[in-house]
Structure 1
Amino acid sequence: MTLTRAVRTERAGHAVRVGRAGRSRVAGLAGAALALVLAVPGAAHAQTQDRAGERPQGHGAPGLGWRLTPTGTDARFRGLAAVDRSVAWAAGSKGTVLRTTDGGRSWRNVSPPGAGPDGLEFRDVEAFDARRAVVLAIGEGEASRVLRTEDGGATWTESFRNTDPRAFYDCMTFFDRRHGLAMSDPVDGRFRILSTRDGGRSWTVLPDAGMPAALPGEAGFAASGQCLVSAGPRDVWLATGGGERGRVLHSADRGLTWTATGTTVPAGEGAKGVFGLAFRDRWHGIAVGGDYRKDQPSPLAAATTRDTGRTWTAAATPPPAYRSGVAWLPGSRSAALTVGPTGTDLSTDAGRSWRTVDPGSYDTVDCAADGACWASGEQGRIARLTLRR
């Protein structure tokens, strides 16, 4: 049973997100400051300023928080790629793509020509450096597209346009600079996987013989670019909702064969399920989600695995509400962040318990290997992670 157009549109508009574990990256924390926060939660009373020397904006608890950066747009950014402390990319509504090369002091609009007038909705971006990036536009039929740039967004090439009206692409991930995957909601009862071996220049639909059957009503959520994530050279995970239970599918051979496992994150309705995944390595992962409707509670909104996703355990102290994005903090085996419309939560015990550290609205989060973390969301919001008094 496939999703109706109305449900798919709602799923895409409110929440329906490369391997954030394979790409798990963040912007502006020094290693020593991060170690202080993890060792003594909430102890960051000694002011730590970012490189611009500015105070954090907004209101939050002592400790970790977000510093908003000026973007000059009101687009909603559900796609985010942190390259390092200087470089990050964001992709969002109205065909908008932004890039910073100065740590967020300024953002350059590098949107593909015609993407806005064409009504493209970018929901994922994978960036390899300051010049090379791949963006995914979501939607039914030809609205699902992949575009690539090799010159920092000065020019773009469309490398894939979906021609199957039954397909609806949600997320993508890259294992390295050449090999990547994108996923579509079920077609003929199975999730569809798109593969590239040349950095996104060309794409091929993989055979679905190794894909388990989808549950009735099951689909992915293009909420944060984290419904398809990878870790290492071959492992990839796919998050689902809308079916009778929220599931995570795992492949150890770059998407050729998959196994499906139920999680503790509630599903059962089109607005509920697993929205985002992050894997620290091929064994340790975190799943977040819930019910994206504002008037609905989201109990058991996070779960963890220590066996590549074969089993999932509910967080003992979950986030207080629906969360769509999650990322491990670089250099730590126990610290992670999760974000959603009602706030940001920090875990210092590998996802078993969470505490709110910032009340701002964000849809996704990503961290770079050098310790830089970013979050993005509605009304042009893009922020860097910092420390509050």
Structure 2
Amino acid sequence: MVVALSALAAVLPAAAASASTSSLKWRLTETGSTAQFRGLAPVSSRVAWVAGSAGTVLRTVDGGRSWANVSPPGASGLLFRDIEAFDSRTALALSIGNGAASRVYATRDGGRTWTETFRNEDEAAFYDCMTFLDRRHGLALSDPVDGKFRILATDDGGRSWAVRPTQGMPDALAGEFAFAASGTCLVSAAGKAMFATGGGAVSRVFTSRDGGRSWSVTSTPVPSGPSAGIYSLAVRPSGEAIAVGGDYAAPTSAPDGAAYLHGRTWKIARTVPGEYRSGSAWASHGLALAVGPTGSDYSRDGGRTWKRFDTGAFDAVECTADGSCWASGPTGRVARLTH
């Protein structure tokens, strides 16, 4: 989701910064769906899109009071895991899977019509997530092909896509991959893109400052394994970044499952959520959020300490420039954050 997070402080009154975070609550909305929504793209306090299982895409333009099913025709066999939206009319949805199961659909009329703008033809590729640096320039991430992560790029707002050469991509580790859990394994802010991994000997974060043409990589202390690693990143225009994860096969135990970027070094949070978390986001005035199947947590100190505030199941969380935060997850669950 492309939002000016740096504008949040100007949008929200200063008193909001001192509001008690103990009053944070999710207010569920009635979506009328039982899909699992791992793709989430709020635009404002009124407009939001969600995408999920069985090719389902929903949109609200009234703050979640009502939702319209705007799913692409013929997509019921697909798993949407990411959606990026710019306004109430323009959005792109990414489905995942090997080969042709990985696709990108675009709408520019609020979901009344969709165009398939990319279909993966390489059986070795598996696309996990995408991000837009601005309205024209976007990236999508595939698990390694021939030993390197693959980057798909667009410079026309998603109307067309091309696979980037891999000369600027460091080698992947044995068993290393990204997690298609919440659409936030690949994120961007202020022209910088980052993606996170797991599966290998260590979890790592890759960073690009030239639109995804070249990447540097940094190891992190977040534990990694066959189903463990960093599931979600959140980055601010200032460069401040957090990472959350764990092991989805052991959701109630995630020691060292959250980290923050200190200079160029990732450090484990002093107090972690302690359980698997699949989504993270920056809100306003230094507030950060993390969600997973066993609950939601907040941090007021840049991800150094976390505290639980909800025990409901969510997969994804995102916040917007007008200060609204949304979460989505299993059995059609979509909620807005209240104070």
**Common fold: TM-score over 0.5:** yes
Deviations 1:182-229 (A, max 9, x none): 000000000000000010000000000000000000000000000000
- 1:99 equivalenced with 2:59 (yes/no): yes
- 2:85 is aligned, of 106, 127, 138, to 127
- 1:281 is aligned, of 223, 227, 237, to 237
Deviations 1:278-329 (A, max 9, x none): 001252100000111136621011100143xx31011000112010100011
Displacement of 1:23 after TM fit? 7.1
Once residues 5 and 118 of structure 2 are traced to their aligned partners in structure 1, the CA distance between those partners, rounded to angstroms, is 22
2:266 paired residue number: 312
Displacement of 1:270 after TM fit? 1.6
Instruction: Look up the equivalent residue of 2:289 and give its one-letter code.
Output: L
What is the aligned-residue RMSD (CA, Å)?
A: 1.8
2:152 paired residue number: 194
- 1:342 equivalenced with 2:294 (yes/no): yes
Once residues 31 and 221 of structure 1 are traced to their aligned partners in structure 2, the CA distance between those partners, rounded to angstroms, is 36
Q: Which runs of 5+ in 1 are unaligned?
A: 1-17, 43-62
**Which aligned pairs between 1:24-63 and structure 2 lie closer than 5 A?**
31=13, 34-37=16-19, 40-42=20-22, 63=23
Number of aligned residue pairs? 337
**Which aligned pairs between 1:135-154 and structure 2 lie closer than 5 A?**
135-154=93-112
Once residues 149 and 193 of structure 2 are traced to their aligned partners in structure 1, the CA distance between those partners, rounded to angstroms, is 14
Instruction: Look up the equivalent residue of 1:91 and give its one-letter code.
Output: A
* Residues 127 and 134, structure 1, Cα contact 8 Å, conserved in 2: yes
SS of 1:254 mapped into structure 2? coil
1:297 paired residue number: 253
* Residues 198 and 229, structure 2, Cα contact 8 Å, conserved in 1: yes
Once residues 32 and 86 of structure 1 are traced to their aligned partners in structure 2, the CA distance between those partners, rounded to angstroms, is 22
* Residues 22 and 230, structure 1, Cα contact 8 Å, conserved in 2: no
* Residues 83 and 368, structure 1, Cα contact 8 Å, conserved in 2: yes
Q: TM-score, normalised by structure 1?
A: 0.84
1:243 paired residue number: 200
* Residues 252 and 294, structure 2, Cα contact 8 Å, conserved in 1: no
**Which aligned pairs between 1:1-389 and structure 2 lie closer than 5 A?**
18=1, 31=13, 34-37=16-19, 40-42=20-22, 63-116=23-76, 119-232=77-190, 234-267=191-224, 269-294=225-250, 297-307=253-263, 310-330=264-284, 332=285, 334-387=286-339
1:275 and 1:112, CA in 2 relative to 1: closer, same or farther beyond 3 A? Answer: same
1:25 and 1:266, CA in 2 relative to 1: closer, same or farther beyond 3 A? Answer: farther
Once residues 332 and 12 of structure 2 are traced to their aligned partners in structure 1, the CA distance between those partners, rounded to angstroms, is 26
* Residues 338 and 346, structure 1, Cα contact 8 Å, conserved in 2: yes
Once residues 22 and 80 of structure 1 are traced to their aligned partners in structure 2, the CA distance between those partners, rounded to angstroms, is 17
SS of 2:117 mapped into structure 1? strand
Once residues 137 and 216 of structure 2 are traced to their aligned partners in structure 1, the CA distance between those partners, rounded to angstroms, is 21
1:288 and 1:24, CA in 2 relative to 1: closer, same or farther beyond 3 A? Answer: farther
Instruction: Look up the equivalent residue of 1:360 and give its one-letter code.
Output: G
Q: Which runs of 5+ in 2 are unaligned?
A: none
**Runs ≥4 residues deviating over 3 A:** 21-26, 29-34
1:51 paired residue number: none
Instruction: Look up the equivalent residue of 1:293 and give its one-letter code.
Output: A
Instruction: Look up the equivalent residue of 1:356 and give its one-letter code.
Output: R
SS of 1:379 mapped into structure 2? helix
Once residues 107 and 199 of structure 1 are traced to their aligned partners in structure 2, the CA distance between those partners, rounded to angstroms, is 25
